[in-house]
Structure 1
């Protein structure tokens, strides 16, 4: 039965590839008209701007709470829906951080990027200010453990762009907020890495740390490693995208900090990186010739963030030798076109709506609300590479499934023992 269900899901994923997307244009804001996409990079940055701008611009204006629609899953649990605002901020910022970290330039992209960066900093100053209508709440519920972690990852990814320019009182408020989470223990799952990466960020700025919280995520996830690039989410394997949503990126980013501070051996980091590279091989092969992927497991309303691990390996210039950067770009470009141009993905004001491919609120999990959806930005990490990088500058290159189903040669695949 499980095998039949999986094959059905794969078939449906293939059918979605028959949708032929229209052109996707970024939302016009402040009377700025964005140029029509003419290449993959232009398409990516305009789409990222379209997704992220409602969060960032409203946060800068102090109107996030006023203007963000607070839509929850039909099965939403008893947590306060107001955690959705923190979710929107943490997740959006973690995805836009590498792009905003690029230096300013005079291109249309550069001008738009600078605008978003300045608004992003202003927005953080606003939402950590006492009395702000958008003041983020960290002292209630368990959900802030999650999205503090994405903010911490934001600052690790773009310290000069998004941490250093903040007001001193904003930095102090963020540190206080992060430390306030220590009175709540992460669940025994991928959540342990949320505690680890938050403490890792505090370590980078010279703050006192909770050593047990810092180390527990690394220790337990390594105990739960199942092999061939897959970690268990807890003692058991979960066949979903949480290895990409959370586990590989936060494991590698946390270990990078620990290596820098000589708290673990470099070999420990290298092993985690090799595992993420192996997982990235599988991710690239999951993309069908039509640019679709199977809607498996929890949290599929996070849409393309299912490919964060592949995107981060590309950003790091650490793709395995059998995967050319351009084939990742071309595959993910088609995935984005298939996914984000479907009617109902955005509401009339440009906010993401609950769904996987369009507006499908019935598939949202019990913890999902509007803010949760901004995990989608995490697939845009390669925008942190300059336009001259081969990821962007190389010509069209077919990805593995496209080669295989066209009768062309493609690399064999083997399991690994690490």
Structure 2
């Protein structure tokens, strides 16, 4: 039996080298471009992102997300409806893949798979907002949809021409109605205020009348809770975890950008939010150890590399300070991804993410965590929205700060900031 499995595997490997991406997609249940050794970091990143996201995007396009998606929940899972897990998977996955899908098509293998995933996303969005769809997403009950509507709104803000404008009018109208339906539920007095704010910011960006209180309250309260040196409080108190990256900095900056464009805040106010995110990102890069690991601190560590969304977004925006070279961020995050995702127990047999930090460990999942929650992991892949010839991808590998520091190389000093 084992010999037959080995021969079958060898046969598939040989076939993969001669088959086109389209043929591979038709052959494998889990569509994923196979390669023994990526030729560069970018190839490793996009193929890993495809592996993580494809079970969500392809099943949603086929109308089989709820039928096929693994649903694993924390042993401490509370009394919220487990059905929110599907919207979590969609919103979080789409927010992470949006910049990559926004790139123009070309003749590369990467573009072939990117185009396939973009088409799946557009088809899936149409399906999951149809009233008769088996994959219709729930926005009408529970508070959790406030969270993941926000990530879906962020998706459209990150890739409006690729993922919003091509949608047909009925789908757009249903999405807008779904977002407005959340107004009968108030976000909690925490980072959740930004979920309400960014959803309203998206509505404003497409010409809808926003709920002004909901839009303004998020940035206003977070500014009141700012603790200094790039860190916001999550509510009045400071939390030593990764929510400044999971939520606060990226959604604060993206919301303020829309508000600035619409004349609701000044450029100076937007740039202050951006400067604070850059400062936070500098600290994130320094927190990556010489080995490419990071501390498992605080809530939601099952979101894995989603902890580096802020650093990834600063790189995507081209806002890294001179002392932090794009290549060192790429090299550091590549090693983190290898340490985290190239480990047994990260995925189930059908490619769904499993609860855990490194490998499978349901016991570290929080009371609100289920399979859909884990797709926050895609948020560390934002620099794939940069072109292949951008310095982030084209510059030679470079040691990151901690690796330099612990191998007696010169590295820049770090100082706090007062803004």
State the TM-score, normalized to the length of structure 1. 0.93
Q: Distance in 1 between matches of 2:337 and 2:373?
A: 18
Query: Match for residue 68 of structure 1?
Result: 69
Provide, for residues 359-379 of structure 1, a one-character-per-residue CA deviation record: whole Å limited to 9, x for no partner.
010000000000000000000
User: How far apart are 1:30 and its partner, in Å?
Assistant: 2.6
Query: Match for residue 35 of structure 1?
Result: 35
User: How far apart are 1:38 and its partner, in Å?
Assistant: 1.5
Q: 2:227 is paired with a residue of what secondary structure?
A: strand
Q: Distance in 1 between matches of 2:51 and 2:345?
A: 14
Q: Distance in 2 between matches of 1:147 and 1:232?
A: 21
Provide, for residues 318-347 of structure 1, a one-character-per-residue CA deviation record: whole Å limited to 9, x for no partner.
001110000000000000000001110000
Q: 1:43 is paired with a residue of what secondary structure?
A: helix
User: How far apart are 1:167 and its partner, in Å?
Assistant: 1.4
1:377-396 correspondence to structure 2 within 5 Å:
377-396=378-397
Query: Match for residue 116 of structure 1?
Result: 117
Q: 1:30 is paired with a residue of what secondary structure?
A: helix
Give unpaired runs (5+ residues) of structure 2. Answer: 1-20
Provide, for residues 68-102 of structure 1, a one-character-per-residue CA deviation record: whole Å limited to 9, x for no partner.
01111000000000000000000000000000000
Q: Distance in 2 between matches of 1:387 and 1:236?
A: 41
Query: Match for residue 365 of structure 1?
Result: 366
Q: Distance in 1 between matches of 2:71 and 2:333?
A: 29
Q: 2:26 is paired with a residue of what secondary structure?
A: coil
- Asked if 1:323 corresponds to 2:319, the answer is no
1:13-412 correspondence to structure 2 within 5 Å:
29-31=25-27, 33-36=33-36, 37-412=38-413
Provide, for residues 394-413 of structure 1, a one-character-per-residue CA deviation record: whole Å limited to 9, x for no partner.
00110000000000100001
Q: Distance in 2 between matches of 1:44 and 1:285?
A: 21
Q: 1:92 is paired with a residue of what secondary structure?
A: helix
Q: 2:219 is paired with a residue of what secondary structure?
A: helix
Return structure 1 stretches of 4+ with deviation > 6 angstroms. Answer: none
Q: Distance in 2 between matches of 1:292 and 1:29?
A: 33
Q: Distance in 1 between matches of 2:366 and 2:34?
A: 35
Q: Distance in 2 between matches of 1:383 and 1:74?
A: 35
Q: Distance in 2 between matches of 1:34 and 1:167?
A: 34
User: How far apart are 1:29 and its partner, in Å?
Assistant: 4.0
User: Between Structure 1 and Structure 2, how many residues are aligned?
Assistant: 392
User: How far apart are 1:292 and its partner, in Å?
Assistant: 0.2
Q: Distance in 2 between matches of 1:242 and 1:311?
A: 14
Query: Match for residue 414 of structure 1?
Result: 415
User: How far apart are 1:357 and its partner, in Å?
Assistant: 0.4
Q: Distance in 1 between matches of 2:329 and 2:314?
A: 10
Q: Distance in 2 between matches of 1:191 and 1:321?
A: 33
Q: Distance in 1 between matches of 2:65 and 2:299?
A: 27
Q: 1:35 is paired with a residue of what secondary structure?
A: coil
Provide, for residues 22-66 of structure 1, a one-character-per-residue CA deviation record: whole Å limited to 9, x for no partner.
xxxx9x643264334121000000000000000000000000000
Q: 1:338 is paired with a residue of what secondary structure?
A: helix
Q: Distance in 2 between matches of 1:387 and 1:302?
A: 27
Provide, for residues 279-304 of structure 1, a one-character-per-residue CA deviation record: whole Å limited to 9, x for no partner.
00100000000000000000000000
